[in-house]
Amino acid sequence: MWYFVCPEVVFGEDALSRLAELPGKSAFIVTDKNMVKLGLVDRVKEQLAQAEIVTDHVFDEVEPDPSLETVRKGSAMMRRSEPDWVVAVGGGSVMDAAKAMRVEYVRPDMPAEEINPFSLGLDLGSRCKLVCVSTTSGTGAEATWAIVLTDTQTETKLGLGSRDVLADIAIVDPALAASMPPQVTADTGMDVLTHGVEGFTSTFKNDISDGLCIRAIQLVFQYLPRAVANGDDMEAREKMHNAACIAGLGFGNSMAALAHSLGHALGTVFHIPHGRAVGLFLPYAIEFIGEGREELWAEIAYAIKQEVPDGSKAVPVLNRALRGLAGSIKQPLSIAEAGVPADQFDRAMSKLIDNAVADSQLVSTLRVPGEAETEKLFRYAYEGKSIDF
């Protein structure tokens, strides 16, 4: 038995107006300062006002890679304002923080760091529902039940989540993603790509999520370079915004894998944006997993119209396409290219290995590296060498 869970997904032009139809009295908005500055929070408030929902409380302090302290602060404010809706307006960090805050608000007996896949029967929605308004085209957090938080004491990422924390409504309105600068568009787009590839090849892959993952990969190849080159290309924006949600629905129900473990480890220590970090490792993870997924690599290559010649392996064909796409949007192909100095990299090695080995995404990786292999993976990825072990 397996589950496919998803929120109500409202997508396309004017999807934001779904907010004007919500029942209820008050909403607590979770966001960051940039969203306020860009005027997106005001647009959300305007829609909620049409539904006669009060929005007196806005928590705009969510930082990239949100910490447990931020979640505590937000949930304490929620308890004081007693909303019947939480409305998250932002990217993955904001949406994940909002998911965790709602848990702590409705269930004060459950601190965020204890949320795990067996935390079920939380019954959050009877007291407070969650809407995720996504403003980046990347994490797909609007559609997943995962929560990634950072423990700032130990410099580790906490992979948390439970089916019960899923948003009730996901709003995927391309106009809200239109303000992403090219670099953020590229970084977050690499996250979508990695979700699609890993969701399609993880050990938890399944018939329901497969089609979503493949479609997301196709959309990224077709539209990400356009969205990066011209942020006003609204067709590309819309397709990438949909792709992010589709990949979220896919990998959210099948899990990510090795590239995410390595990317989380590197990103946490060197503060590299999530999508850039996981995208960097994707070709190396594919090479390392290799043979065991040969048929699936070939299926992905076929889906993006790359021919695998008879008698050849699919991995080099697929990786050439992945690296070609990444290069075309100026994404780093090695850790050195990502700007990590060699001496700092060497000093951080044991931390990187510890983080990667402990990462929750390894659970769903077909070939799990040991500590020595993990170190080699990092070193090869630093230099941009093909995996040969």
Q: Should residue 287 be labelled a site residue for Fe ion when binding is judged by CB under 5 A?
A: no
Give the shortest CB-23-to-Fe ion separation in angstroms: 33
Distances from the Cα of 144 to the Cα of 88, 95, 224, 275, 277, angstroms: 14, 10, 22, 16, 20
Give the shortest CB-20-to-Fe ion separation in angstroms: 31
Residue of 139, 138, 245 lying closest to 185 (CA atoms):
138
Question: Stretches 127-135, 186-194, 326-334, 378-386: which one binds Fe ion (CB under 5 A)?
Answer: 186-194
User: On the CB side of 326, how many CA atoms lie within 13 Å of its CA?
Assistant: 27
Give the shortest CB-94-to-Fe ion separation in angstroms: 15
Rounded to 5°, the CA angle 359-365-371 comes to: 55
Residue whose Cβ sits closest to Fe ion = 191
Nearer to Fe ion, 19 or 352 (CB): 352
CA distance 258 to 163: 22
Nearer to Fe ion, 142 or 191 (CB): 191
Q: Which of residues 309-338 bind Fe ion (CB under 5 A)?
A: none
Q: What would the x/- binding string for Fe ion be over residues 187 to 216, using CB under 5 A?
A: ----x-------------------------
Give the shortest CB-48-to-Fe ion separation in angstroms: 29
Nearer to Fe ion, 187 or 191 (CB): 191
Give the shortest CB-192-to-Fe ion separation in angstroms: 8
Q: Which helix (H) or strand (E) holds 156?
A: strand 156-161
HEC per residue, 317-330: HHHHHHHHHHHHCC
**Residue count, binding to Fe ion (CB under 5 A):** 1
Residues that bind Fe ion (CB under 5 A): 191
